[in-house]
Amino acid sequence: MTPPDYEYLRKLLKDHSGLDLSADKQYLIESRLLPLARKCGLSGIPDLVTKVRGGSSSHIAQVVEAMTTNETFFFRDKVPFDHFRDTMMPEILKARAARRSVRIWCAAGSTGQEPYSLAMCLKEMSTALAGWRVEIVATDLSQEVLEKSKAGIYSQFEVQRGLPIQMLVKYFKQSGEFWQVNPELRAMVQHRQLNLLHDFSQLGAFDIIFCRNVLIYFDQDTKINIFNRLARLVEADGFLVLGAAETVVGLTDTFKPVPERRGLYRPNAARAAAAGAVMPRVAAAAAGR
């Protein structure tokens, strides 16, 4: 790829998705865009760049999708799901005992492995959650990725990475070489297309937000901006979960790390009160709960 083409794509991705590629990520662009060029019936990346430079909106959208789709697997990194089961949910179960509802947002839901992993965790604690309203909202930039998540159909390869075999047997239905998440689990997850660069206040308040392995692609100002907007959506006693390579430290004081729980953050009460950041449960009220 020529340096001007690379610079052009870098800027395009930054403008459309906030993806902030460093100067040495040619290989990443090439590895993602060559399959796309082929899929579009083009001879290679130069032709694809020509289409994009020509302003073809469908090609632009596909380039953005191809570059922002990240590998994911069930129970990725494991530890956040242990925190979910052992730290976050026990607190939420107590704190919401009167309201009996829990709302969870997967802000980079991707192809569904994370939201369905959370749904499985919740199913495993269904006795404690009997009579509760449980909502998981999965959002992603990419419509194509969301469609896959909605379908909940995974290859044999995908279901073997991170998913314990007992969970596969319990929560999936086999269909030839593929495995589909059972309808009960699928019904627990709502899907919405969403660009984190845009306003997301319409989603309403959440008890727990998983926002993992997406902010690493953004520049510092964008990260700060997103953290501040996330802080307005998470309940004052709620949680934010970041990826292993991500932190709020040094960027914002709207969240503070939970001691000895890596990747786990809570809204900073002092800061939130000062900013008047605690939101009413708009969506909950609108839904008549």
Partner 1 sequence: MKTCLVVDDSSVVRKIARRILEGLAFTVIEAEDGAKAVEACKVAMPDAVLLDWNMPVMDGFEFLIELRRMPGGDVPKVVFCTTENGIDHISRALNAGANEYIMKPFDKDIVAAKFQEVGLLALDVPTEA
CB atoms within 10 A of CB 164: 11
> Which among 16-24, 208-216, 224-232, 268-276 is the span making contact with partner 1, rule CB under 8 A?
208-216
Q: Give the H or E element holding residue 35.
A: helix 26-39
Residue 31 binds to partner 1 (criterion: CB under 8 A): no
Residue 151 binds to partner 1 (criterion: CB under 8 A): no
Of 82 and 253, CB closest to partner 1: 82
For residues 107 and 128, what is the distance between their CA atoms, to the nearest angstrom?
A: 26
CB of 84 to partner 1, least distance (A): 15
| The token pair that represents 116 in the structure block | 């369905």
| The token pair that represents 55 in the structure block | 């302003």
Footprint on residues 263-282 left by partner 1 (CB under 8 A) = none
Residue 279 is given by DSSP the state P
> Which among 10-18, 41-49, 68-76, 91-99 is the span making contact with partner 1, rule CB under 8 A?
68-76
Q: Give the H or E element holding residue 52.
A: helix 45-53
Which of 1, 95, 216, 224 binds partner 1 (CB under 8 A)? It is: 216
Burial of 276 (0-12, 13-18, 19+ CB in 10 A): exposed
Of 73 and 200, CB closest to partner 1: 73
Residue 76 binds to partner 1 (criterion: CB under 8 A): yes
DSSP string, 207-276: EEEEE-SSGGGS-HHHHHHHHHHHHHHEEEEEEEEE-TT---TTT-SSEEEPTT-TTEEEE-HHHHHHHT
Residue 247 binds to partner 1 (criterion: CB under 8 A): no
Residue 244 binds to partner 1 (criterion: CB under 8 A): yes
Q: How far is CA 202 from the centre of its chain?
A: 17
Chain position carrying tokens 């191809």: 66
CB atoms within 10 A of CB 112: 29
Residue 160 binds to partner 1 (criterion: CB under 8 A): yes
Residue 164 binds to partner 1 (criterion: CB under 8 A): yes
For residues 213 and 110, what is the distance between their CA atoms, to the nearest angstrom?
A: 11
Residue 144 binds to partner 1 (criterion: CB under 8 A): no
Of 90 and 164, CB closest to partner 1: 164
Of 6 and 73, CB closest to partner 1: 73
Residue 257 binds to partner 1 (criterion: CB under 8 A): no
> Which among 41-49, 72-80, 196-204, 252-260 is the span making contact with partner 1, rule CB under 8 A?
72-80
Of 56 and 180, CB closest to partner 1: 180
Where does this chain bind partner 1 (CB under 8 A)? 70-71, 76-79, 156-157, 160-162, 164-166, 168-169, 174, 177, 213-214, 216-217, 243-245
